[in-house]
Amino acid sequence: MQLAERRFRPEFAAAFDAWFAADPANDPAAPSDPTSMDQYRQPAKERSAALASEAEARFRDGVETGDTADQYVRITVLLASVLFILGISSQFRLRSARVGLISVGVVILLYAVVLLASAPKPPF
């Protein structure tokens, strides 16, 4: 037992001494182990809680930033689709096919502009 006691961390040694003084072998009301004692402090536990809180906040920021990036990629794909549709419309000989493709391109363009106007603005 003394070998183990020499290896105790200082914050645990104080709690162990108080626990042992409570005579847990003979007193059923004594705490079941030293970590249940008020003297037992874990300084790294408070730091751990603070770091976990900071990590949670950064994770939420990362998720929000990722969602914003996804919105901008979606808008970029829509605008590229407009360019593609307008580009292939000139290859059709039928006027109605060209007008139809241009109309679809304009609708997609208007939708992309609305999405772009409502997207979060990048920080400066």
Q: How many angstroms separate the Cα of 55 from the Cα of each of 19, 42, 60, 63, 68?
A: 36, 20, 9, 12, 20
Residues 6+ apart with CB under 8 A from 41: 11, 15
pTM of the model: 0.61
Question: What is the structure's pLDDT at 78?
Answer: 97
Q: pLDDT tens across 30-75, in order?
A: 777 777 777 787 878 888 999 999 999 999 999 999 999 999 999 9
For residue 114, pLDDT over 70 is answered with: yes
